[in-house]
Amino acid sequence: MISCFYWHFIEAPKNIFQAWRNLFYFSLNYFSLKVLFKTLFSPWKKFAYSYGKGFSFGKYFEVFTFNLMSRSIGAIIRLLVIMTGLIYSFFVFLSGLLFLLVWISMPFWLLFIFFYGIKLI
Protein backbone atom coordinates (compact mmCIF):
# COMPACT_ATOMS: atom_id res chain seq x y z
CA MET A 1 0.00 0.00 0.00
CA ILE A 2 2.84 2.38 0.86
CA SER A 3 4.52 1.72 -2.48
CA CYS A 4 1.30 2.70 -4.27
CA PHE A 5 1.28 6.08 -2.54
CA TYR A 6 5.02 6.49 -3.15
CA TRP A 7 4.50 5.78 -6.85
CA HIS A 8 1.46 8.06 -7.17
CA PHE A 9 2.85 11.03 -5.25
CA ILE A 10 6.63 10.77 -5.89
CA GLU A 11 7.55 8.67 -8.93
CA ALA A 12 4.68 9.51 -11.28
CA PRO A 13 4.89 13.29 -10.73
CA LYS A 14 8.62 13.13 -11.51
CA ASN A 15 7.84 11.35 -14.78
CA ILE A 16 4.99 13.76 -15.54
CA PHE A 17 7.28 16.71 -14.87
CA GLN A 18 9.97 15.24 -17.16
CA ALA A 19 7.47 14.72 -19.97
CA TRP A 20 6.05 18.18 -19.41
CA ARG A 21 9.52 19.75 -19.53
CA ASN A 22 10.38 17.80 -22.69
CA LEU A 23 7.18 18.99 -24.40
CA PHE A 24 7.86 22.56 -23.34
CA TYR A 25 11.43 22.51 -24.67
CA PHE A 26 10.21 20.80 -27.83
CA SER A 27 7.74 23.61 -28.42
CA LEU A 28 10.49 26.21 -27.99
CA ASN A 29 12.80 24.32 -30.34
CA TYR A 30 10.09 23.50 -32.86
CA PHE A 31 9.32 27.15 -33.41
CA SER A 32 13.06 28.06 -33.20
CA LEU A 33 12.29 31.00 -30.98
CA LYS A 34 15.92 31.63 -30.06
CA VAL A 35 16.98 31.78 -33.72
CA LEU A 36 13.97 33.90 -34.68
CA PHE A 37 14.79 36.47 -32.01
CA LYS A 38 18.41 36.62 -33.17
CA THR A 39 17.47 37.08 -36.83
CA LEU A 40 14.39 39.24 -36.33
CA PHE A 41 15.42 41.98 -38.74
CA SER A 42 17.24 39.82 -41.27
CA PRO A 43 15.99 39.99 -44.87
CA TRP A 44 13.18 37.63 -45.78
CA LYS A 45 14.69 34.46 -47.29
CA LYS A 46 17.96 36.40 -47.64
CA PHE A 47 16.52 38.48 -50.50
CA ALA A 48 18.76 41.54 -50.53
CA TYR A 49 20.48 43.51 -53.25
CA SER A 50 23.97 44.96 -52.97
CA TYR A 51 24.54 48.62 -53.63
CA GLY A 52 27.30 47.92 -56.13
CA LYS A 53 30.07 50.25 -57.18
CA GLY A 54 29.63 53.89 -57.89
CA PHE A 55 26.80 56.10 -56.75
CA SER A 56 23.50 56.60 -58.47
CA PHE A 57 20.76 58.11 -56.34
CA GLY A 58 18.01 56.23 -58.20
CA LYS A 59 19.75 52.85 -57.88
CA TYR A 60 20.68 53.57 -54.25
CA PHE A 61 17.07 54.45 -53.42
CA GLU A 62 15.74 51.38 -55.24
CA VAL A 63 18.14 49.00 -53.45
CA PHE A 64 17.52 50.68 -50.09
CA THR A 65 13.74 50.43 -50.53
CA PHE A 66 13.87 46.79 -51.59
CA ASN A 67 16.15 45.84 -48.70
CA LEU A 68 13.95 47.74 -46.26
CA MET A 69 10.84 45.96 -47.53
CA SER A 70 12.58 42.58 -47.41
CA ARG A 71 13.62 43.18 -43.79
CA SER A 72 10.13 44.43 -42.90
CA ILE A 73 8.45 41.37 -44.39
CA GLY A 74 10.99 39.14 -42.60
CA ALA A 75 10.34 40.88 -39.28
CA ILE A 76 6.54 40.66 -39.65
CA ILE A 77 6.58 36.97 -40.50
CA ARG A 78 9.11 36.18 -37.78
CA LEU A 79 7.03 38.09 -35.23
CA LEU A 80 3.94 36.10 -36.22
CA VAL A 81 5.84 32.82 -35.82
CA ILE A 82 7.30 34.01 -32.49
CA MET A 83 3.84 34.93 -31.22
CA THR A 84 2.45 31.57 -32.34
CA GLY A 85 5.32 29.74 -30.66
CA LEU A 86 4.93 31.68 -27.41
CA ILE A 87 1.18 31.08 -27.32
CA TYR A 88 1.70 27.37 -28.02
CA SER A 89 4.39 27.15 -25.33
CA PHE A 90 2.09 28.94 -22.89
CA PHE A 91 -0.67 26.40 -23.53
CA VAL A 92 1.81 23.53 -23.15
CA PHE A 93 2.84 25.02 -19.81
CA LEU A 94 -0.75 25.46 -18.63
CA SER A 95 -1.89 22.01 -19.76
CA GLY A 96 1.09 20.38 -18.05
CA LEU A 97 0.38 22.25 -14.85
CA LEU A 98 -3.30 21.30 -15.02
CA PHE A 99 -2.46 17.65 -15.68
CA LEU A 100 -0.04 17.56 -12.75
CA LEU A 101 -2.60 19.13 -10.41
CA VAL A 102 -5.32 16.72 -11.55
CA TRP A 103 -2.95 13.78 -11.08
CA ILE A 104 -2.05 14.83 -7.53
CA SER A 105 -5.69 15.46 -6.58
CA MET A 106 -7.12 12.24 -8.06
CA PRO A 107 -6.93 10.12 -4.87
CA PHE A 108 -8.66 12.85 -2.89
CA TRP A 109 -11.43 13.09 -5.49
CA LEU A 110 -11.78 9.30 -5.38
CA LEU A 111 -12.23 9.40 -1.59
CA PHE A 112 -14.69 12.28 -1.88
CA ILE A 113 -16.75 10.47 -4.50
CA PHE A 114 -16.68 7.24 -2.47
CA PHE A 115 -17.93 8.90 0.74
CA TYR A 116 -20.45 10.99 -1.16
CA GLY A 117 -21.82 7.80 -2.72
CA ILE A 118 -22.10 6.18 0.70
CA LYS A 119 -23.91 9.28 1.96
CA LEU A 120 -26.41 8.99 -0.91
CA ILE A 121 -27.19 5.38 -0.03
* Rounded Cα gap, residues 47 and 98, in angstroms: 44
- What tens-digit pLDDT sequence spans the chain (121 residues)? 678 889 989 999 999 999 999 999 999 999 999 999 998 888 777 767 676 777 777 778 888 888 888 888 889 999 999 999 999 999 999 999 999 999 999 999 999 999 999 999 8
Contact 31/88 with Cβ under 8 angstroms?
yes
Whole-prediction pTM value?
A: 0.77
Residue 20 and residue 89: Cα distance in Å, rounded? 11
Phi, psi for 54 (deg, rounded to 5): 80, 175
